[in-house]
Amino acid sequence: MDRDDILRLAQSEKPDHRGDEREKAIFDKSFYWAFIAMGVVATVFACVRNAHGQDPFDIMALIMFSGASAFIFRYIKTKKVMNLVCFGLMLFSAVFATVRFFGSFAG
């Protein structure tokens, strides 16, 4: 392939709808900060609910399932064992909170 063939090939490719590498990095980082904000707000809400005698298990389950999904994705992409360990802990906590949440309706 000569220079003209490479140029033609590059021009014929469809542009990525998610933008260039910088825009993709910003998009990814925005989800990171959204997850941090969600965790902080959910913790505050859970504390307020707990202070008023209400169980915070529904909020805990949401946060733990979200975290578990992030860690399993990281493990699949990187194969780092620590991500798998964190996934297991988050999943266990999510199932525990879900069982406690639904169990609170039984009494």
What's the rounded mean pLDDT across residues 65-77?
95
Is residue 28 situated within a structural domain?
A: yes
Is residue 11 situated within a structural domain?
A: no
CB-based contact 101:63 (threshold 8 Å): no
**Does the pLDDT of residue 13 top 70, yes or no?**
no
How many CB atoms are located within 10 Å of the residue 4 CB? 8
Full domain range(s) for residue 50:
20-103
Is residue 5 situated within a structural domain?
A: no
Please count the structural domains in the chain.
1
Is residue 70 situated within a structural domain?
A: yes
pTM of this structure: 0.72
The structure tokens listed for 50 are: 């707990």
**Does the pLDDT of residue 17 top 70, yes or no?**
no
**Does the pLDDT of residue 9 top 90, yes or no?**
no
Is residue 13 situated within a structural domain?
A: no
How many CB atoms are located within 10 Å of the residue 34 CB? 10
Instruction: For residues 79 and 72, give the distance between their C-alpha atoms in angstroms, rounded to a whole number.
Output: 10
What's the rounded mean pLDDT across residues 45-70?
94
